[in-house]
Amino acid sequence: MKIFCVILFIFLVFPAFSEQTEVAFFLFMPNSSNRFVNEAQARRQLDDIARNLLSRDLSQGQIHVGGYAADARNEIDPVELSRNRALFVIQELQRRGVPAFLFSDPVANGAVNIWGDNINETRRSQNRRVRILLDDIVIPAIVPTPEPVIQEPLPVQIPADQEPSLVLDPAANEQSAGKFLSCIICLILLVLFLITLFFLIREIMSFTRRKIII
């Protein structure tokens, strides 16, 4: 219930604080919903307004068009007349490429005395108009934030021409062979020395025995 009350409050109160900016207005001939006071100027103005609206980033229903009528005291319904004037301007802008979904429903304000007191024709002419208004508040579209993609590090590939290879140094090979050969020679000399020493000791012992016997 509380949530419903909050939503209702937003829809009822929020529009009251939204402001609208007047883009342009058009003056109409008496008792007419499709004839401007100055046709050439109005057509140029419509062209400029259409280009201006198309250059903006507008949302659905952000363009408001309201029609007005003078208090002329005749048989024409001022509410219907003011609505037809607003609808005519909307159709002219749509013909110039402004999408239909950008417009809200035309507003019929009927007979008014906002710009003139309707005492004479000069003052009544200012009330035969259509106003184009734009909402100042634009609700941006909600774009979901994509989840971050974690990429595993790729194995580093070493080019074939840069792969490490076993390089044999001829000088180092010769040095190793020389050391090995020296070790062999030393080992042989050691063996010969031990053999010689063995026979020498044997001969000394034999000589000593013979001397004792004699």
- Mean pLDDT in the chain? 78
| Residue 178 reports pLDDT greater than 90 | no
Mean pLDDT within 24-49: 94
Of 170 and 27, which is predicted with more confidence? 27
Long-range CB contacts (within 8 A, 24+) of 34-43: 34/84, 34/88, 37/125
Of 202 and 55, which is predicted with more confidence? 55
Of 190 and 147, which is predicted with more confidence? 190
Is there a contact between 118 and 70 (Cβ–Cβ < 8 Å)? yes
How many percent of the chain have pLDDT more than 70? Answer: 69
pTM, entire model: 0.56
pLDDT band with cut points at 50, 70 and 90 for residue 18: low
| Residue 3 reports pLDDT greater than 70 | no
Question: What is the predicted pLDDT for the residue at 167?
Answer: 46
Buried b (16+ CB within 10 A) or exposed e, 51-64: eebeeeebeeebbb
Mean pLDDT within 102-126: 91
Rounded Cα–Cα distance for residues 128 and 119 (Å): 14
Interior angle at CA 91, CA 87 and CA 95, nearest 5: 170
Phi, psi at 20, each rounded to 5°: -125, 145
Residue 37: name the closest of 46, 26, 24 by CA. Answer: 26
Rounded Cα–Cα distance for residues 192 and 184 (Å): 12
| Residue 160 reports pLDDT greater than 60 | no
Mean pLDDT within 1-10: 44
Question: What is the predicted pLDDT for the residue at 113?
Answer: 87
pLDDT band with cut points at 50, 70 and 90 for residue 148: low
pLDDT band with cut points at 50, 70 and 90 for residue 40: very high
Question: What is the predicted pLDDT for the residue at 183?
Answer: 78
